[in-house]
A and B are shown apart, each in its own frame.
Chain A
Amino acid sequence: MSIGHTLLGLLESGPRHGYDLKRAFDEHFGHDRPLHYGQVYATMSRLLKNGLVEVDGIEQGGGPDRKRYAITEAGVTDVGQWLARPEKPEPYLQSTLYTKVVLALLTGRSAAGLLDAQRAEHLRLMRGLTERKRSGDLADQLICDHALFHLEADLRWLEVTAARLGRLAEAVRA
């Protein structure tokens, strides 16, 4: 999962301080693994360097780093591309996909389209496996079946998520 893209996506709704970013991240995605502030700082430095964010202002006094970040045009494009690009189907994909869906909802992009694209990607792979199965021997078939069942499970998750997008959007925007 890409923390950079996630933080970028969170910035799309408006400029934030680093600390706010961490809080927003934890709130949406860090249920069991809160983000270290150091990670935020490091990631934001990289994004700054790449021109995907800019410093919107620095507040004096108070905490250690009172920089306020804002997303650049390039940053928005980058988030869009990342969200639209289906993930390569692989195990334990859900957290990435979940992040993407939430971010899409937060940034007003089409979460359904994202899921459909991911489904198409999964099916593409499944077609390949099915084809291989048809021509392969029993060992091939068994191996392919294993992969197929896992992909099928992911797809089911995608479907269920798609069906619950409305409720998820409400929860995220609350």
Chain B
Amino acid sequence: MIPAGSLLSAVGLRKSYGPTRALDDADFSVHPGEVVAVMGPSGSGKSTLLHCLAGIVRPDAGTVTYDGHRLTDLPDAERSALRRGEFGFVFQFGQLVPELTCVENAALPLRLAGLRRKEAEAKALHWLERLDVADARDQRPGEVSGGQGQRVAVARALVTSPRVIFADEPTGALDSLNGERVMELLTAAARETRAAVVLVTHESRVAAYSDREVIVRDGTVRDMAGVL
């Protein structure tokens, strides 16, 4: 069952890595403008759920529907295009290209989408400014602090004005103050653009930025809305 009005939803997802079952009949849905925290113990399948939802990984069974498209049926090229254009991603660390400057990193999705360099970098710079890291524009990721780097990553996720932002432990490598800052900016920007956010985290203080949380345990998703 796909809940009415949902932007992205998954039904009956199953995914195994060898003998380990990462997802076992997992359901999920998120509405436009909604921030959903995906919580659960490590190894419970949180990241796998995110990867399936984002079309990075094809589930063994079940369907993922995005905006009326069955993501699970699309070929890799189209899923990649979707990820470039409609989705934004923030990972824990190691996502920035170390050789490119911050502004080039932030502009990369636009460049991949075919935008000219100047235009792409102007847009990227705008987001760097909004995220307070415009100073680092010409520095390389190795030369900026973790918090700044993560904000550059958020800028990169937001630069294409995505409709869904996937954030996998976005503050995992940051201290609480910097983590808070990143979450603050990320959720504010998402709410403003009515982007849905799928936020994988094990930190409750980060999850507190969500509108709703789901718990992944042993590969199944428990929606806490039903528990209360």
- List the A side residues contacting B96 at CB < 8 Å: none
Q: How far is the CB of B36 from chain A (nearest CB, A)?
A: 12
Residue of A nearest to B210 (CB): A127
Bits for B35-55, please: 1 = Cβ < 8 Å to A, else 0: 001010100000000000000
- A76 interfacial contact with B, CB 8 Å: no
- List the B side residues contacting A28 at CB < 8 Å: none
- A168 interfacial contact with B, CB 8 Å: no
- B209 interfacial contact with A, CB 8 Å: yes
Bits for B196-217, please: 1 = Cβ < 8 Å to A, else 0: 0000001111011111010101
- B79 interfacial contact with A, CB 8 Å: no
C-alpha spacing A151/B203, complex, angstroms: 11
Among B204, B217, B227, the residue within 8 A (CB) of A126 is: B204
Q: Select the stretch in A51-59, A95-103, A114-122 that faces chain B.
A: A114-122
- List the B side residues contacting A151 at CB < 8 Å: 204
Among A117, A134, A152, A163, residue most surrounded by chain B Cβ atoms (within 10 Å): A152
- B224 interfacial contact with A, CB 8 Å: yes
Q: Check if B227 sits within 8 Å of A134, measured CB to CB.
A: no
Q: Check if B41 sits within 8 Å of A159, measured CB to CB.
A: yes
C-alpha spacing A162/B39, complex, angstroms: 13
Report if A123-B41 is in contact (Cβ < 8 Å); known contacts: A116-B222, A117-B228, A134-B184.
no
C-alpha spacing A122/B224, complex, angstroms: 12
Among B184, B205, B215, the residue within 8 A (CB) of A116 is: B215
Among B207, B213, B227, residue most surrounded by chain A Cβ atoms (within 10 Å): B227
State which size class the interface on B falls in: 20 to 34
Residue of B nearest to A86 (CB): B228
C-alpha spacing A126/B98, complex, angstroms: 36
- A136 interfacial contact with B, CB 8 Å: no
Residue of A nearest to B184 (CB): A134
Q: Check if A130 sits within 8 Å of B209, measured CB to CB.
A: yes
Report if A130-B208 is in contact (Cβ < 8 Å); known contacts: A116-B215, A162-B41.
yes
Q: Check if B215 sits within 8 Å of A129, measured CB to CB.
A: no
Q: Check if B224 sits within 8 Å of A120, measured CB to CB.
A: yes
- A3 interfacial contact with B, CB 8 Å: no
Q: How far is the CB of A126 from chain B (nearest CB, A)?
A: 4
Q: Check if B213 sits within 8 Å of A123, measured CB to CB.
A: yes
Residue of B nearest to A115 (CB): B215
Q: How far is the CB of B178 from chain A (nearest CB, A)?
A: 14
Q: How far is the CB of B41 from chain A (nearest CB, A)?
A: 6
What are 25 inter-chain pairs, A to B, with CB distance below 8 A?
A113-B227, A116-B215, A116-B222, A116-B224, A116-B227, A119-B204, A119-B215, A120-B228, A123-B37, A123-B208, A123-B224, A124-B228, A126-B204, A126-B207, A126-B208, A127-B210, A127-B211, A129-B208, A130-B205, A130-B208, A130-B209, A149-B205, A152-B203, A159-B202, A163-B41
Known: A123-B204, A126-B207. 14 other contacts (CB 8 A): A116-B224, A117-B228, A119-B224, A120-B224, A120-B227, A126-B208, A127-B210, A127-B211, A130-B208, A134-B184, A149-B205, A152-B203, A155-B204, A156-B204
